[in-house]
Amino acid sequence: MNPADPPVRSSRRVVLAHYGEVGLKRGNRLSFERRLRDRLREGLEHAGLKARVALTQGRYAISLPSDDALPRAMSVVTRIPGVANASAAYVVEPEIEAIQEAAATALAEAPPGSFKVETRRADKSFPLNSIEVSQAVAPACLERSPRAVDVHDPDITVHVSILKDAAYVSAARVPGPGGLPVGSTSRLLSFLSGGIDSAVATWLMMRRGARVTAVHFHNRTHEGTAVLEKLEDVCGVLAWSAGRMPMLVVPFEACQRAIVGLVPAEYRMIVYRRAMLRIADQLGRTERALGIVTGDSLGQVASQTAENIRTIHEAATLPIYAPLVGSDKAEIVALARRIGTFDISIRPHADCCSFLIAKHPATVSNIHEIRQFESAVDWDAVVAEAVAGTEKTVHLPDPDALGA
Ligand code: ATP
Ligand code: MG
């Protein structure tokens, strides 16, 4: 060895990722574990990282070419549905001295504050039980990094996992989204308006394992193209969950013009939304989607009163998922910030739903009356024209959205 070379490290680090809900699956756990592994591999590849993802005893150990890549890998991994938490962990031989050394190092690198040690043994043949390991590790930590011990509410938890061939030690677990890896359930269409709510609703359904195709209804004359740039950026963020994000842009101006000619201004919003659902039922067939996601939140705006939601949803044959229906706006905003869509969503844009509508849209609607207004529209032609003009693009994860 050249004397100028840095010393060979006695331990190396990996990103250690745990799943939560995947662990509850009994019969098909293996296929969930594999799917999550595939999502992790895909995400790391999109981030330009040459990583090796190994599934060992219910956790993923992700090896990277150098420790410099750890922050970027952590940023990717903690965005992937199915991941409950991840940490940059030291990997050592499953021997108590090596574990003590790694734990002392990990804690010394952690921010100040109280701590405790928590040990899990996947390998029960280890000579010490979990409590004995923690009792042996804590004094070694304190020697290097004197601080208070707090077993009930510590600022830092040093996690020790002992497996058959290795032990993992870390002092900073970062929560992931939880939920299930994308692909665990069938495809849904998600109505993406460019606003705050629909991006969050889309993310929530991806977190439940759904593959999602975004759908935007676009009035070129009214909205211009700024909204499309926003949607591309939103898809670039959301694609970190899924690996890729297809989007359909549906030309909506002809449909809206037909409606404007026949429906009074205060009811147009309702009829626009019903028209979107009619078109989506057709798109669902070609996309093989089994449901429609919207960002509706009960009572938030005129189109979201219980009366109007009933009238609007009545036009769909596919089931509608509105995961924000019971959420408070402040909660939705907090989630939008967390997932990274908020700053994009607040960029100004015109929404097709504001096209020639009344200043005060009706908050109550009568389905018979609405059907009466709609009866003069040639829906087959309107839907066919919109479907024929629909353009599909596929968006990959945006590295600029990683922040690491
Ligand atoms: P968002 O913040 O998502 O825009 P919102 O609270 O502003 O929602 P609305 O504008 O009434 O509510 O729209 C309700 C839902 O209808 C949206 O969350 C979205 O799912 C869907 N939607 C509205 N406009 C469009 C559009 N142009 N294209 C696709 N979906 C739309
Ligand atoms: Mg909106």
DSSP-derived pairing of the beta strands 12-19 and 59-63 = antiparallel
Atom 11 in ligand 1: residue holding the nearest Cα:
303
For residue 299, give the ligand nearest its CA: 1
- Indicate whether 42 and 109 sit together in one domain: yes
Phi, psi of 212 (to 5 degrees): -130, 135
Q: Closest-lying ligand to the alpha carbon of 216?
A: 1
**Closest ligand 1 atom, residue 215 Cα:** 29
The answer to whether the Cα torsion of 203, 205, 207, 209 is positive or negative is negative
Regarding whether 390 and 333 lie in a shared domain, the answer is: yes
State how far the Cα of 78 lies from the Cα of 241, in Å rounded to an integer: 9
**How far is the centre of ligand 1, averaged over its atoms, from the C-alpha of 84 (Å)?**
30
pLDDT, position 355? 79
Pocket of ligand 1 (CB under 6 A): 191-193, 195-198, 215-217, 294-296, 300-301, 303, 351-353
Both tokens of 258, joined, read 């037909």
Nearest CA to ligand 1 atom 16: 294
Residue 227 CA: nearest ligand 1 atom is: 27
Parallel/antiparallel/unpaired status of strands 59-63 and 52-56: antiparallel
- Which ligand is located closest to the Cα atom of residue 213? 1
DSSP secondary structure string, 302-327? Answer: GGGSHHHHHHHHTT-SS-EE-TTTT-
Residue nearest to atom 31 of ligand 1 (CA): 193
* E strand or H helix that includes residue 18: strand 12-19
127: domain CATH number is: 3.30.2130.30
147 and 246, same domain (yes or no): no
3-state secondary structure at position 276 = helix
Task: Classify residue 2: in a domain, yes or no.
Answer: no
Q: What is the pLDDT of residue 10?
A: 43
Question: In a 3-state reduction of DSSP, which class is residue 117?
Answer: strand
Hey, is 27 helix, strand or coil? coil
Same domain, 363 and 291: yes
Nearest CA to ligand 1 atom 8: 197
**Total domains present in the chain:** 2
Residue 11: the pLDDT is 54
At 145 the pLDDT is 94
Q: Judge if pTM exceeds 0.75.
A: yes
Residues 364 and 283 grouped into a single domain: yes
Final residue belonging to a domain, choices 125, 153, 175 = 175
- 143 occurs within a structural domain: yes
Instruction: Looking at the structure, tell me whether residues 237 and 295 fall in a common domain.
Output: yes
Q: Whole-angstrom Cα distance, residue 77 to residue 205?
A: 18
Which residue puts its alpha carbon closest to atom 20 of ligand 1?
A: 294
Residue 382 lies in a domain: yes
- CA–centroid distance, 191 to ligand 1, in Å, is 7
**Are 18 and 164 within one domain?**
yes
Calpha distance 158→174 (Å, rounded)? 13
Q: Which residues are close to ligand 2, an ion, with C-beta < 5 A? A: 193, 195
Size of the chain, expressed as the number of residues it contains:
404
- Residues 6 or more apart from 397 whose CB is under 8 A from it? 43, 46, 47, 236, 239, 240, 243, 244
Q: What pLDDT is stored for residue 354 in this prediction?
A: 77
Residue nearest to atom 14 of ligand 1 (CA): 296
Q: Directed axis angle between helix 306-313 and helix 367-374, to 10°?
A: 40
Whole-number Å distance, alpha carbon 195 to ligand 2 midpoint, is 5
Q: Is residue 146 part of a domain?
A: yes
The predicted structure's pLDDT at residue 252: 96
**Residue 253, in any domain of the structure:** yes
Domain's final residue, options 127, 152, 175: 175
Out of 140, 175, 210, a domain closes at 175
Q: Are residues 106 and 200 in the same domain?
A: no
Rounded distance from Cα 295 to ligand 2 centre (Å):
8
pLDDT of residue 9: 44
Q: Which two tokens stand for residue 16?
A: 């250690």
Q: Given ligand 1 and candidates 197, 216, 297, 391, which is best to mutate, with the most ligand atoms within 8 Å of its CB?
A: 197
Contact of 41 with 53, CB cutoff 8 Å = yes
In a domain, 357, yes or no: yes
Structure tokens at 277: 């659902």
Among all ligands shown, which has an atom nearest to the Cα of 198? Answer: 1
Considering the domain boundaries, does residue 181 fall inside one? no
pLDDT along the chain (404 residues), means of 10: 44 90 75 94 96 92 94 97 97 96 96 96 93 97 96 97 95 95 96 97 98 96 88 98 97 93 91 97 97 93 86 95 97 97 92 78 85 92 97 97 84
Structural domain contains residue 101: yes
pLDDT of 251: 97
* Ligand number nearest to the C-alpha of 217: 1
CATH code at position 196:
3.40.50.620
User: Which mutation among 189, 190, 191, 217 tests ligand 1's pocket best, with the greatest number of atoms within 8 A of CB?
Assistant: 191
In this structure, the answer to whether residues 78 and 113 fall within a common structural domain is yes
Q: Containing domain of residue 16, as a range?
A: 12-175
What is the Cα–Cα distance from 335 to 339, expressed in whole angstroms? Answer: 6
Strand segments, DSSP code E, in 113-173 are 115-121, 156-162, 167-170
Q: How many angstroms separate the alpha carbon of residue 178 from the centre of ligand 2? A: 27
Residue with CA nearest ligand 1 atom 30: 191
Same structural domain for residues 192 and 118?
A: no
CA of 191, closest atom in ligand 1: 30
Give the per-residue pLDDT at 5. Answer: 45
CA of 300 to the centre of ligand 1 (A): 11
Residues 165 and 59 in one domain: yes
Same domain, 254 and 107: no
